[in-house]
A = this chain, B = another copy of it.
């Protein structure tokens, strides 16, 4: 996203929810390290002290944004569809759920996927991402052991490619895009059945 695109449609916002949204937009447009509290107050159209009324600072905003993305992603793992059924059925449920969260909470997930580990909060988020990926990888391994997933691909690699395929959607998905409702199923189909037709 260009800086200009992220900054359009900016109105004064004072509630913690809308301040968070403004901050996430600025973090994505400028990069977290390059964004100052001045930038954030200007973008939100409020004074710095009003901003500090809601958040102790930049890192608290980052943490709140990353918590939102992570809590939605982890919630998928506890849904009945992710805990009952064959490993592949559970994986399909998780992939569809991830794509849905990603399209609904696009800026928050985008920020999460850009985290590089330069602050304590970023390192915490990286750990959480790893924990999520480890839980998915364990189900991929189960699927391989039960013969549901092809045995000629290393389970760790399969889990990583699955995660990469799903997460890449943030690179091009834009809210309001037609076909968003079908996207979770389409991504799951490509991930599990590949690009080649079923009959070959």
Q: Of A13-21, A75-83, A154-162, which stretch is located at the interface?
A: A154-162
Chain B residues whose CB sits within 8 angstroms of the CB of A140 once the complex forms: 195
Chain copies in the assembly? Answer: 2
Residue A33 at the B interface, CB < 8 A? yes
Chain B residues whose CB sits within 8 angstroms of the CB of A31 once the complex forms: 31, 33-34
Docked complex: A61-102 residues within 8 A CB-CB of B: 88
Size category of the binding interface on chain A: 35 or more
Docked complex: A162-198 residues within 8 A CB-CB of B: 162-165, 167-169, 171-172, 179, 183, 186-187, 189-198
Contact of A164 among B151, B165, B197 (CB under 8 A): B165
Residue A152 at the B interface, CB < 8 A? yes
Residue A118 at the B interface, CB < 8 A? yes
Instruction: Report the bound CA distance from A168 to B2 in whole Å.
Output: 21
Would B158 and A169 count as touching, CB distance under 8 A? no
Q: Of A42-50, A52-60, A142-150, which stretch is located at the interface?
A: A142-150
Q: What's the least CB distance linking A96 to chain B, in Å?
A: 14
